[in-house]
Chain A
């Protein structure tokens, strides 16, 4: 809840107070909520029911089938692994970048920020296409190495590394935006006083900045995990045939094996994981002093 008093002005209004307090807010939020209910909650609920209500009885057979399949469980672990590596790498790249953007001024900083935000404007399919030609076998990078006499370049195309590189590339802008915003809440005066008493850069970061941006870190972590776990286009075009990420696996099950329930089971499992991470996000956000988002 906000710290500011939210007492709407009652003068000037033609509506009875009760109507305004009890009906108006719901009228205003109804359209998006309704849309979300119809197009997210209902189909998601229907999908969940379809996976456990088979032939007129409640059963977890589909889930047992999933966990008994070595291929599908390998896909699930592969997805975990890729997601964790992606998010880890995002922190490794995003944190120094955001620290720089938080404290730097001038034209170089502006250019760095613009480059960091650029991926926001590149859809996955173009990225995959560009990466195949840039770092794929005999692509631009390979050719460059060949021209200067280095051969034996091993391309990440059709390997887990290919997915990793592309997913990190895509999520850099969001990571940098959120971390930079988190860092802006650290007052300059705090850092200056830390410096004044002789704290090293590392000490300043670890003991002053880090505790203050934990919230931003959790937000970056959870939203990136949710975004990465269900990825489809990138792993489809750049990843190996086996194992595949869950997003690819469920489409494969649906389109190739014509197994609708199997595909939905995978979707529900993916959702369960994302929902768990979503809870982490919600707890972090609601515990905050201001109670936003």
Chain B
């Protein structure tokens, strides 16, 4: 059914309404202001309590703000040997996993988008399986194999587990981006004698770059925050920041350690949010999920 048919079926002869300009502006802004306030309370509210805790030395109910403020726990948290080793480890691990993921997924995404071969679509859709089986059930089975391969408690083991979690994002989003590339432009460039490599670098790459960047950044962030796989496969030798966060939140009396670590963990997020903001606008990410 085309939209025209629908529209004409809706036609009932009423004249289009026209409100005065000022009222219209107000009405137009009202939903925006509503959503802004709503989200600010919902999203920022919980985060605000964490920020306050991070700068509190003592905070007892029913005080609305901390009884004593201070940076004492920042010093203590940053001086902790476990955090000092976990932070660079987590950043390095997330970067390495993202790079590896790109290395194995992007060529595959290119093939899924541009080459025609039997079972193309079933294979592409099969990556949904990486999300469908409960992680815990998988890790229990994987752990057995990893013991035999001496991978438990190693960076390689954790990296492998985290790598498999990135496949869905790193294949679906770039695949749809490669599909969206205008082939006519590429062929025109080839016709005037440009080499394939040059066409790829100068024509194809710029067109898929926003989607690739979104995929890379999201992969980095989700890997950086991944805790369950790192917990089951990584400990005792490999302790990442989220794993540390788990044990500190669950079994440390001092609330502030958790608050300070939360803020430290946000640092990369804030930087990345600023970067990713530009790219996710065009729906490049959503396209990867089949929209």
A residues near B (Cβ < 8 Å) are 1-2, 4, 6, 8-9, 12, 21-22, 24-26, 28-33, 35-36, 39-44, 46-47, 50, 96-97, 100, 104, 106, 108-109, 111-131, 133-135, 138-141, 143-144, 146-147, 169, 177-178, 180-182, 184-185, 187, 190, 193-199, 203, 207-208, 211, 215-216, 219, 223, 226-227, 230, 232-233, 237, 246-247, 250-251, 254, 260, 263-264, 266-268, 270-271, 274-275, 278, 281-282, 284-286, 288, 290-293
Contact = CB atoms under 8 A, between A and B. Distances in A.
A257 to B, nearest CB: 14
Given A40-B138, A182-B291, A184-B283, A293 B49 contact: no
Nearest to A176: B286
Contacts of B33: 108
Contacts of A260: 140
Contacts of B93: none
B205 interface: no
Given A40-B164, A108-B36, A181-B287, A197 B172 contact: no
Given A104-B31, A123-B265, A130-B262, A216 B291 contact: yes
A36 B129 contact: yes
B221 A126 contact: no
A87 to B, nearest CB: 15
Interface stretch (B71-79, B81-89, B111-119): B111-119
B273 interface: yes
B58 interface: no
B68 interface: no
Contacts of A106: 32
Given A50-B141, A123-B225, A232-B136, 12 more contacts: A6-B116, A28-B107, A31-B104, A32-B171, A104-B28, A120-B218, A133-B49, A143-B61, A147-B62, A178-B289, A197-B7, A288-B290
Closest 6 CB pairs of A and B: A267-B137, A181-B286, A181-B283, A121-B269, A43-B141, A198-B14
Interface string B110-145: 111011110011011111111111111110111001
Given A39-B160, A39-B164, A115-B40, A267 B176 contact: no
B245 interface: yes
B116 to A, nearest CB: 5
A43 B233 CA distance: 14
Nearest to A277: B132
A271 B137 contact: yes
A123 B227 contact: yes
B153 interface: no
Contacts of A203: 10
17 contacts: A9-B190, A28-B108, A39-B142, A39-B161, A44-B133, A97-B35, A129-B262, A140-B45, A180-B283, A181-B286, A195-B16, A197-B8, A203-B10, A250-B136, A271-B137, A278-B132, A284-B290
